[in-house]
């Protein structure tokens, strides 16, 4: 029997079924142990250190106790703490991005995904480089600067060379004042050599959802194709890091398995990356299973309520305070609005989950991966964020300035983020307001920019940011950054 060992490189040892089951039992036994819960909440609080704050985060065991607790008063305390941690480390900034589907050819048999090989009636599409360019122009014309590229797994149709070529095309397009400055990549688990190629192509984060940490369920949910190999999939982030990618993004597809099992597995995965590579995941995504072409989410038994979903988000935020958290347009405006107060730091806007979706006129798109709940335009999302006190940030400076992996984490921990991310967010928001916003959004935006500039602590940085924003307003100079 495998023994739990976070430092091991073997999936069954760092995501250890026995340890997960023990943790679930421990959490269940202690869910009304308020003394313990109070001490866990106390331990997780941000502590002032120098100019910034420090948080210890929580072990998967402690975090599981919080998630199991269903006392309304304690849940309120968790929500307040999650929000406090988000504000202390990420401020009121929300990073914006959009997915770009390159190809839905896929040789896998994932039973929850309409791109599975046996689906013969879904339209199969793969963008040509000309089409990639047109999609990118459409995304730039909305104001996007950061993309997550998505593709099915198909060594013939979507080999790594195709993905690399697309990345090159994406970075080469500059339409009007537009530019895609960060391409994150969500493609199937691959080899160290291919991860190295992605790194050399200048990608931001490599994202791979585990789907489920439960091995038996994983094998059943991925009955055929290369993705069937649980260990190869689960150990992918270690290969990515070996290939030089130091920003990796985790996630599970909630609805496939029992949420508690997934939650514990996810945190164990984060602990493993920290233990082996000295840096935890850059982001954690929280996708929930959605209706799709030939997929009925009700056919799966483990769907979670909005209330439980929110508690999971808050508990992840408390457990891994320095990790960015992403919510997509799978969720409605209402759920996204609430989640923003529980620790989410990144959201997508105006997403199309079909291949060629940004240049196709009408919905629904016949190659769509899943139904999108939040169908607002980027301008509407940006305006809504600001009305709710969040600064939409189009900043992509970190990885271009070499602030990735542990260097990003130390920036996050030192409190310098207010002199760096905050002015960068305001400058990139000003670019958006100048180039793409509706008059109403522009008005609200510049009011916010003026107010928020005063929160930049260092006077010198504040003055440079103000000057740069004047330049953005008065010229076509773009891409100022600290």
Residues that bind ligand SAM (CB under 6 A): 112-113, 150, 152-153, 186-188, 208-209, 211, 227, 253, 287, 289-290, 292, 295, 330, 369-370
Token reading at 269:
């995965």
Residue 321 and residue 85: Cα distance in Å, rounded?
Answer: 6
Query: Are residues 209 and 175 in contact, defined by beta-carbon separation less than 8 angstroms?
Result: no
Residue 48 forms beta bridges with which residues? 53
Cβ-contact 82, 313 below 8 angstroms: yes
How far is the C-alpha of 81 from the C-alpha of 58, rounded, in Å?
13
Residue 156 CB, shortest distance to ligand SAM, in Å, is: 15
Min CB(398)–ligand SAM separation in Å: 23
Name the minimum Å distance from CB 457 to ligand SAM: 39
Residue 23 or 354: the one with the smaller Cβ distance to ligand SAM is: 354
Contact status, residue 33 vs residue 65, Cβ threshold 8 Å: yes
* Min CB(328)–ligand SAM separation in Å: 8
- Cα 21 to chain centroid distance, Å, stands at 27
**Residues 405, 241: Cα–Cα separation, whole Å:** 10
208 vs 340, beta carbon nearer ligand SAM: 208
Q: Calculate helix-pair angle for 459-474, 417-435, nearest 10 degrees.
A: 10
| Integer angstrom CA distances of residue 88 from 275, 415, 418 | 25, 8, 10
Compare residues 114 and 143 and give the one whose CB is closer to ligand SAM.
114
Question: Please, what is the minimum distance in Å from the beta carbon of residue 481 to ligand SAM?
Answer: 29
Q: How far is the CB of 351 from ligand SAM (least distance, A)?
A: 12
Separation between Cα atoms, residue 482 and residue 478, nearest integer Å: 13
Residue 18's contacts (CB-CB under 8 Å, 6 or more residues apart) are: 1, 2, 3, 4
CB of 285 to ligand SAM, least distance (A): 8
Buried b (16+ CB within 10 A) or exposed e, 453-465: beebeeeebbebb
* Distance separating alpha carbons of residues 205 and 198, to the nearest angstrom: 10
With both helix axes pointing from N to C terminus, report the angle between 439-453 and 378-387 in degrees, rounded to the nearest 10: 40
Please identify, using beta-carbon distances, which residue of 29 and 296 lies nearer to ligand SAM. Answer: 296
Closest contact distance (angstroms) between CB of 39 and ligand SAM is 35
* Beta carbon nearer to ligand SAM, 289 or 382: 289
Cis peptide before 366 (omega within 30 of 0): no
Contacts of 373 (CB under 8 A, 6+ apart): 290, 329, 330, 331, 332, 333, 335
Comparison of 261 and 370: residue with beta carbon closer to ligand SAM: 370
Closer residue to ligand SAM (CB): 227 or 422: 227
Question: In the complex with ligand SAM, which residue's Cβ is closer, 63 or 207?
Answer: 207
Taking the least distance from each CB to ligand SAM, the nearer of 306 and 401 is 306
Minimum distance from residue 187 beta carbon to ligand SAM (Å): 6
- Residue 161, burial from CB neighbour count under 10 angstroms (0-12, 13-18, 19+): exposed
Least distance to ligand SAM, CB of residue 366, Å: 16
Q: How far apart are CA 30 and CA 55, in angstroms?
A: 23
- Identify which of residues 15 and 382 has a Cβ nearer to ligand SAM in the complex: 15
């Amino acid at each position: 029997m495998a023994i739990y060992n976070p430092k091991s490189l073997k999936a069954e040892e760092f995501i250890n079924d026995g340890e997960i089951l023990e943790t679930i039992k421990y959490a269940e036994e202690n869910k009304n142990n308020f003394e313990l819960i109070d001490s866990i909440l106390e331990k997780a609080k941000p502590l002032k250190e120098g100019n910034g704050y420090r948080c210890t985060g929580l072990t998967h065991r402690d975090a599981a106790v919080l998630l199991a607790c269903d006392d309304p008063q304690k849940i309120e305390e968790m929500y307040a703490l999650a929000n406090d941690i988000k504000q202390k480390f990420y401020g009121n900034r929300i990073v914006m991005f959009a997915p770009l589907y390159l190809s839905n050819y896929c040789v896998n048999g994932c039973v929850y995904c309409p791109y599975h090989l046996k689906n013969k009636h879904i339209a199969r599409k793969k963008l040509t480089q000309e089409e990639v360019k047109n999609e990118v122009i459409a995304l730039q014309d909305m104001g996007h600067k950061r993309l997550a590229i998505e593709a099915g797994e198909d060594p013939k149709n979507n080999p790594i060379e195709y993905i690399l070529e697309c990345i090159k095309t994406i970075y080469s397009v500059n339409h009007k004042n537009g530019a895609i400055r960060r391409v994150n990549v969500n493609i199937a688990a691959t080899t160290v050599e291919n991860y190295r190629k992605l790194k050399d192509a200048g990608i931001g984060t490599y994202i791979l959802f585990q789907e489920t940490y439960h091995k038996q369920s994983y094998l059943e949910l991925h009955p055929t194709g290369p993705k069937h190999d649980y260990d190869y999939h689960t150990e992918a982030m270690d290969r990515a890091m070996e290939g030089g990618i130091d920003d990796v993004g985790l996630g599970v597809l909630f609805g496939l398995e029992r949420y508690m099992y997934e939650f514990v597995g996810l945190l164990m995965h984060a602990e493993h990356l920290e233990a082996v590579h000295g840096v935890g995941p850059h982001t954690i995504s929280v996708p929930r299973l959605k209706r799709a072409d030939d997929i009925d989410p009700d056919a799966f038994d483990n769907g979670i309520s909005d209330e439980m979903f929110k508690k999971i988000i808050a508990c992840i935020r408390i457990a891994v305070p320095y990790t960015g958290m992403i919510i997509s347009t799978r969720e409605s405006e209402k759920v996204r609005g609430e989640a923003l107060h529980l620790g989410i730091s990144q959201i997508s806007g105006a997403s199309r989950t079909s291949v060629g979706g940004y240049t196709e006129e009408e919905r629904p798109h016949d190659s769509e991966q899943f139904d999108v709940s939040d169908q607002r335009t980027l301008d509407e999302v940006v305006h809504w964020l600001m009305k709710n006190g969040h600064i939409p940030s189009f900043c992509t400076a970190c990885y271009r300035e070499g602030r990735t992996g542990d260097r990003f984490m130390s920036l996050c921990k030192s409190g310098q983020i207010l002199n760096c991310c905050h002015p960068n967010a305001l400058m990139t928001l000003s670019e958006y307001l100048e180039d793409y916003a509706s008059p109403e959004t522009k008005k609200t935006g510049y009011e916010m920019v003026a107010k928020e500039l005063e929160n930049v602590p260092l006077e010198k940085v504040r003055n440079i940011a103000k000057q740069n924003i004047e330049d953005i307003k008065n010229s076509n100079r773009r891409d100022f950054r600290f």
